[in-house]
Amino acid sequence: MIRHVVLFKLRSDLDEGAATRIFTALKALQGQIPGITAISTGKDASPEGLQRGFTHGFTVDFVDAAARDAYLPHPAHQKVGAMIVASSEGGVEGITVVDWEA
């Protein structure tokens, strides 16, 4: 299983409705792209103070690396990815991504 973890800094001029629209579009990917087993989304709620400006995040779980690799160029993922970039402080600079095998 591959867990794809994305954190982003929602632009300060946007309200929570922007994040809600992103999260709704993300969750719809599970029905559109084979190999996705789970998607979890949310707004930061950590009391630790280590967020470094990241306000929101999500995980996408894939059956394997091949499923993740097929997801990355998929047009539905590209559309949601563009929404996230447009809604993040500094565009791509306001996003961080890590994947690991679980």
SS3 content of the chain, % helix, strand, coil (to 5): 40, 30, 30
Structure tokens that stand for 10 in this block: 């929602």
Domain harbouring 57, CATH code: 3.30.70.100
Structure confidence at residue 39 (pLDDT): 98
Q: Tell whether pTM > 0.85.
A: yes
Residue entry with tokens 């394997």 = 64
What is the number of structural domains in the chain?
Answer: 1
Mean pLDDT over all residues of the chain? 98
Q: Residue 75's pLDDT is what?
A: 98
User: 57 is in which domain, residue-wise?
Assistant: 2-101
- Each residue's pLDDT tens digit, 44-80: 999 999 999 999 999 999 999 999 999 999 999 999 9
